[in-house]
Chain A
Amino acid sequence: MDYAEVEAQDLVTRYDRGTLSAEEEMRFEAHLMNCPETQEALVYARSLRRGVRALAAEDALRASAAGRLVRLHRRPAVRVGLLAALLLLFAAPLLWQLRTTAPSAGTVSSPHVVMMSAMRSADDPSTIVDLGSVDGEAVLLAIDPGDEPGIETYRLTLENADGAPVFARDGLRLNALEVVMVRVPVARLRTGAHQLRVDGVTVDGSRAELARYPVRIVGEAGRNGQ
């Protein structure tokens, strides 16, 4: 194996994702030991992948927080709280320092992101959400809503097998990654078959269903000890 083969077969990314066969992986690792170019490529691939996921998580948290603010600011009593929140912004450097020394729930690091796209495997058209592998308190869903023109915002509704909504969020927009991100608390999720409904809302307020993605929720939340 040489670096040309590594590049041609995209082995660095496939190794980082864990999609090489056992034999390929062993060959790649033997090569990795003595190839500085492959080592450097692996460092960047890991960093870039983590960056994309962290960015997606940041956008989801921001969208989630913005949604809460929109709902809250309609209550007069909350306006005082919002003023206090603005004052708190001046203390952001201090908060940042605290954040880097005191881990808390709902962080943007190592998010559990699940991608919803029309492209699914023919063997299993459902997107699998494994609660057992979720480290935090929420799952981030990244939804590819398609290319429907004239859509201003999106509404996402997760429905259980009976068609009852278990989670819904309005006013979502495409982020820098051209996806709609939403943070779904693990506590709201139960195992079983679900459907994620994506509605588009146009500027004039009319709403139309754009897509439905089958979702299968498996595993047991809390197994990770969080």
Chain B
Amino acid sequence: MPRALDPEQLKALVAAIEAGDSQAEADLVETFGRGIALLLGRHARRRAEAEDLYQDTFRLAIQKIRAGTLHRPEQLPGFLSGLARNLAIDHYRKIGRRKTDTAGDALPDVRSPAPSPLDRLEDAENASLVRQVLDEMPSARDREVLMRYYLAEQDRDALARSLGLDAQQLSRILYRARQRYKALYLARFGVAALLLAILLVAYRARRR
């Protein structure tokens, strides 16, 4: 697993980019690409949009760092996440404005896209793993916990209260389920699959 950068390393990275070191720019993308891809996975509605926003984030970040506008290098992670987030917000605001301009009082299109073949395949694989996790769970109550937590998205505290569990018992059930899921995931797809999943967006964006 990659390691987090400490404040000194962050300062050195920013200083190198300010000095025009192209290797440092590549290191920036290498180090923070996964985090940006995951963040955009939350804010972008389509894979293609996430890929574009990913590229825009690093392009703009490098421009700003080169220009010396990042005064506190130790805040580089927050600077990058804020940039990506704001770009995503701006992107959808523009789409909303365009739709409003062309369709009177129509609201912006906020739907998710139809699932791609890749999404379908991933969902089928994920479902198969979850079925295995459920089959191995020792009690109906544990299965109910998983269902209510992930399907009904019920709040932890309310869920624990309704099932007569304390917070620790609930955490243990969820922890066991997650660990088992992780083990099955790795057993089925191999360790490389995890890195691939994290880096998918990053790889695609860099390839283009």
Q: Give the interface residue-count category, chain A.
A: 35 or more
Contact B143 A178 (CB under 8 A): yes
**Chain B interface, number of residues (Cβ within 8 angstroms):** 66
* Cβ–Cβ < 8 Å partners of A82 in chain B: none
A176 located at the interface, meaning its Cβ lies under 8 Å from any Cβ of chain B in the complex: yes
B137 closest partner in A (C-beta): A176
Task: Return chain A residues, CB-CB under 8 Å to B85.
Answer: 26, 29
Report the bound CA distance from A39 to B116 in whole Å: 24
Contact B152 A142 (CB under 8 A): yes
Is B4 an interface residue when CB atoms closer than 8 A count as contact? yes
Q: Is the CB of A51 within 8 A of B129?
A: yes
> A33: which B residues are within 8 A, CB to CB?
32, 35-36, 39, 77-78, 80-81
B129 to chain A, nearest CB (A): 6
Chain A residues whose CB sits within 8 angstroms of the CB of B135 once the complex forms: 176
| Chain A interface SS verdict (over half) | helix
B109 vs chain A, min Cβ distance (A): 8
Verify A30–B129 contact, CB threshold 8 A.
no
How far does the alpha carbon of A51 sit from the alpha carbon of B180 in the complex, in Å? 13
**Beta-carbon contact of A119 and B154 below 8 Å:** yes
A32/B39 in contact, CB under 8 A: yes
Q: Are A110 and B78 CB-contacts (below 8 A) given A32-B35, A119-B154?
A: no
Stretch at the interface among B19-27, B46-54, B64-72, B118-126: B118-126
Residues of A within 8 A of B (CB): 10, 13, 15-18, 26, 29-37, 39-40, 42-58, 99-101, 103, 107-110, 113, 115, 117, 119, 133, 135, 142, 144, 176-179, 223-226
